[in-house]
Structure 1
Amino acid sequence: MARRDHQDSRGRTGTRVALMCAVIAALLGGCSSAVSLPEERPPAEAIREDIETIFSTLYGEAAVRAVLVQQHGKLVYEQYQESTAQDTWDVRGVTRAVTSTLIGIAIDRGLISGVDATLGQLLPDYAGVLTPETAAIQLKAVLTHTANFAPMSEERDIRGTPADLSAQADWVAAILADRASRGPGDGRFLFSDPGTHILAAIVAEVTGMSPFRFADEVLFDPLDIDTAPLWEERFSPDGDPQELLREYQEAEVAWPADPQGVNLGYTHLRLRATDLMRIGQLMLDEGVWDDEQVVSATWAVQATSPVVATVGYGTIAYGYHWWVDPQRGMFYAQGEGGTAVVVDPVRDAVAVIASEVTIDDPRGNHGFASATAVGLAALLLADLSSDSR
């Protein structure tokens, strides 16, 4: 299969040092050339011990539940802690990459004209909320977080949903109204989970079904991801969040929805670690799974390539809801609490780390764990040979 061009590998030792710097930066707030690091990293088994040590330090007990590494389409490392391959986890922010892929499939199928389509064209049911300015927002701007939707509120309720949003009867209308009041902004990168929920609303609008059911038909089924029984109960401002949370935690594959039935585009998709591996492998292989083009190669490459520069994330760029590290030739999706899918096309490999820490866990900072998981997954990939298959 033809693959995209990447920068040449900087050498095994140099790459490992750089990747260790990424982990140290996450843990200590920075990495300079004066840091002394061993030239040789331990094998995967020893790195697994590093993972356990770091997460036990962060949270007082081990939080990592699954670590998988796959190269050339074959699993080369797999370990579970207090879990099995069949257990599902709230993958949190990795949900965003799934939502983006559904947009790509909808474009492939002609349900969306392309990334230049506007919100006015894509959300006709919300014409009454859209202003001329917000109606003209292009899909590409929402995909790249450059449309000035509000950043995620730090105030969250027990569900991990912004308290000011979960109280609304119509989340999509509230998000669009808030965006109108904010104005167009300066076009720079501003990470926005409410903006990602608008993507899920677009999927629902153009397909006539919930994002979860569309995903089950066009993405999960082709990837042999078992979703039965499909759980997508709706949040309600009048409902009992504790009861819904209990039901959600007892479900297998699950994806809760807003009061209108739009699954939360930015979070709370429950999947197995092996399911995350399949999604990473799909993007690595430019949209192909088992000789079937599940999402077009055009979309798979564009989504995982640098499209816009980020603000506050160093040299990391952003595609269509995938983070992109041009220096290392990697792209990844990360979930708050320590879940990551890191893809390394140079080594033809994917690493997955699934963790149990939730956004409302009192033990630690979920964003801190997310960055750490990405760095550790990259370390595991650095131990693999860069020989082409």
Structure 2
Amino acid sequence: MARLDHQSSRGRVGTRVALMCAAIGALLVSGCSSAVPTPPEQPNPAEAIQEDIDAVFGTLYGDEAVRALLVQQHGDVVFEMYQEATDEDTWDVRGVTRAVTSTLVGIAVDRGLIPGVDATLGQLLPAYAGVLTPETAAIQLKSVLTHTANFAPTSEERDIRGGPADLYAQPDWVAAILVDRAARGPGDGAFLFSEAGTHILAAVVAQATGMSPLRFAEEALFEPLGIDTRPRWEERFTPAGDTAALLRAYEEAEVAWPADPQGVNLGFTHLRLRATDLLRIGQLLLDEGVWDGEQVVSATWAVEATNPLVATVGYGAIGYGYQWWVDPEGGVFYAQGEGGTAIVVDPVRDAVSVIVSEVTVDDVRGNHGFASATAVGLATLVLADLSDSP
């Protein structure tokens, strides 16, 4: 596979000598000098990665659903595995969609189309002034980005399209979400994961840019990254529509992103992309928004989005940025999708790993796929097989 062009990464911590000093510093009392013994020869990373994959799938279910696993370091692909798939196949990346939506918000902020993360929903969604209360109109964008605005939590009851069951029956999703939020009240400001909240972000992008999130993504994100989106598919879910026919068309589409009745693409799910496209998105965030010499999204946004801005509830030590999960202990940030799709980025190793699994839209809970948390674990595990030297 061809090299994916990129710029130098953030997060490198210096030479191998410095890294070794940090790792063994607790055992030394006299410090560490440059006269460090030559470390043993590193094993072939591809072989080590394959051993990890075999070990994981020798124990856990789900390997039959995995279609691609890619690992890239310093901009070069060091491992690629396709199973009943090729690098041209597209897949429903499910919750990884949220990271794309967040990046589109960041680009709109960079371009001055959105005033900033302190902007309120009253400013950002003037078309919905009729359903915004004074309290919901004052909600700041950064609270929606970090799931701290008390939008309805993602429900365990989901319909065949993979989203909250009652949302698809609404003639105007954004209005329904805002009305529900007003009834729920402000909450306590704690992390509460909400797909409905992420869809509000997509609506903000549509309002700010005057185009659907997919059309804006084509111009502002996908084209600079060399992601081919033709032919595109963005049909709308409507209460009176033929859902079964729409789902069949979606499964047969190439690059696709379904939309709500108003034409706002689903900010939280069902974007269809290639595994290599996800690799490019991960590399973009790793390289602080730069791709092939172009600042696609600002370094400020890329860094803020992928840092632990808020503590999560019920997810251990994992933090959350702007629609990216952050594991400070593991030294990675990641996006994950139900059924076993993930982008995991390791700034210290200057590396990105991607795992993509095939899950059909009628597999509501991803039971026949690969658990999302396990996919993140595997994608993180294989990164540890790489050298941490620059």
Same fold (TM over 0.5): yes
> Would you say 1:283 and 2:285 are equivalent positions?
yes
Q: Which of residues 97, 100, 103 in structure 2 aligns to 1:98?
A: 100
CA separation of 1:6/1:375 partners in 2, compared to 1, >3 Å: closer, same or farther? farther
Residues 189-219 of structure 1 show CA distances to partners (whole Å, capped at 9, x for unaligned) of 0000000000000000000000000000000
Distance of 2:9 and 2:379 partners within structure 1: 25
CA separation of 1:178/1:63 partners in 2, compared to 1, >3 Å: closer, same or farther? same
Task: Report the alpha carbon displacement of residue 50 of structure 1 after superposing the two structures with TM.
Answer: 3.1
Letter in 2 for 1:221: E
What corresponds to 2:158 in structure 1? 156
Partners of 1:358 and 1:366 within 8 A in 2: no
Q: Which runs of 5+ in 2 are unaligned?
A: 1-7, 25-44
Letter in 2 for 1:46: E
Task: Report the alpha carbon displacement of residue 329 of structure 1 after superposing the two structures with TM.
Answer: 1.5
Distance of 1:89 and 1:12 partners within structure 2: 41
Letter in 2 for 1:58: Y
What corresponds to 1:45 in structure 2? 50
What corresponds to 1:88 in structure 2? 90
Distance of 2:216 and 2:56 partners within structure 1: 35
Distance of 2:380 and 2:161 partners within structure 1: 30
> Would you say 1:382 and 2:389 are equivalent positions?
no
Partners of 2:358 and 2:369 within 8 A in 1: no
Task: Report the alpha carbon displacement of residue 12 of structure 1 after superposing the two structures with TM.
Answer: 12
> Would you say 1:270 and 2:275 are equivalent positions?
no
What corresponds to 1:3 in structure 2? 10
Letter in 2 for 1:164: D
Partners of 2:11 and 2:348 within 8 A in 1: no
What corresponds to 1:19 in structure 2? none
> Would you say 1:350 and 2:352 are equivalent positions?
yes
Distance of 1:189 and 1:367 partners within structure 2: 27
Partners of 2:257 and 2:265 within 8 A in 1: yes
Once the two structures are overlaid, the 10-residue window that deviates more, 365-374 or 242-251, is: 365-374
Once the two structures are overlaid, the 10-residue window that deviates more, 353-362 or 180-189, is: 353-362
Task: Give the 3-state SS of the residue equivalent to 2:308 in structure 1.
Answer: coil
> Would you say 1:58 and 2:61 are equivalent positions?
yes
Residues 204-240 of structure 1 show CA distances to partners (whole Å, capped at 9, x for unaligned) of 0000000000000000000000000111000011111
Once the two structures are overlaid, the 10-residue window that deviates more, 155-164 or 124-133, is: 155-164
Once the two structures are overlaid, the 10-residue window that deviates more, 2-11 or 159-168, is: 2-11
Within-5 A mapping of 1:5-20: none
CA separation of 1:11/1:271 partners in 2, compared to 1, >3 Å: closer, same or farther? farther
What TM-score comes out, normalization by structure 1 length?
A: 0.88
Structure 1 stretches of 4+ moved >6 Å: 5-14
What corresponds to 1:246 in structure 2? 248
Residues 77-127 of structure 1 show CA distances to partners (whole Å, capped at 9, x for unaligned) of 001000000000000000000000000000000001100000000000000
CA separation of 1:157/1:9 partners in 2, compared to 1, >3 Å: closer, same or farther? farther
What corresponds to 1:173 in structure 2? 175
Distance of 1:365 and 1:213 partners within structure 2: 32
CA separation of 1:209/1:176 partners in 2, compared to 1, >3 Å: closer, same or farther? same
Distance of 1:362 and 1:204 partners within structure 2: 28
Residues 241-268 of structure 1 show CA distances to partners (whole Å, capped at 9, x for unaligned) of 1100100010000000000000000000
Letter in 2 for 1:120: G
CA separation of 1:200/1:363 partners in 2, compared to 1, >3 Å: closer, same or farther? closer
What corresponds to 1:35 in structure 2? none
Within-5 A mapping of 1:128-139: 128-139=130-141
Letter in 1 for 2:309: V
> Would you say 1:218 and 2:223 are equivalent positions?
no
Once the two structures are overlaid, the 10-residue window that deviates more, 353-362 or 188-197, is: 353-362
CA separation of 1:125/1:362 partners in 2, compared to 1, >3 Å: closer, same or farther? closer
What corresponds to 1:232 in structure 2? 234
What corresponds to 2:40 in structure 1? none
Q: Which runs of 5+ in 1 are unaligned?
A: 15-40
Distance of 1:299 and 1:87 partners within structure 2: 30
Distance of 2:306 and 2:287 partners within structure 1: 12
CA RMSD of aligned residues (A): 2.2
> Would you say 1:73 and 2:80 are equivalent positions?
no
Within-5 A mapping of 1:282-321: 282-321=284-323
Letter in 1 for 2:191: F
Distance of 1:362 and 1:150 partners within structure 2: 19
CA separation of 1:299/1:12 partners in 2, compared to 1, >3 Å: closer, same or farther? same
Identity percentage of aligned residues: 74
CA separation of 1:266/1:362 partners in 2, compared to 1, >3 Å: closer, same or farther? closer
How many residues of Structure 1 are paired with residues of Structure 2 in the alignment?
359
Residues 146-179 of structure 1 show CA distances to partners (whole Å, capped at 9, x for unaligned) of 0000011222221112221000000000000000
Residues 319-373 of structure 1 show CA distances to partners (whole Å, capped at 9, x for unaligned) of 0000001112210000000001000000000000000124642796479700000
Structure label with greater radius of gyration: 2
Q: Which of residues 323, 326, 336 in structure 2 aligns to 1:324?
A: 326
Distance of 2:61 and 2:21 partners within structure 1: 31
What TM-score comes out, normalization by structure 2 length?
A: 0.88
What corresponds to 2:340 in structure 1? 338
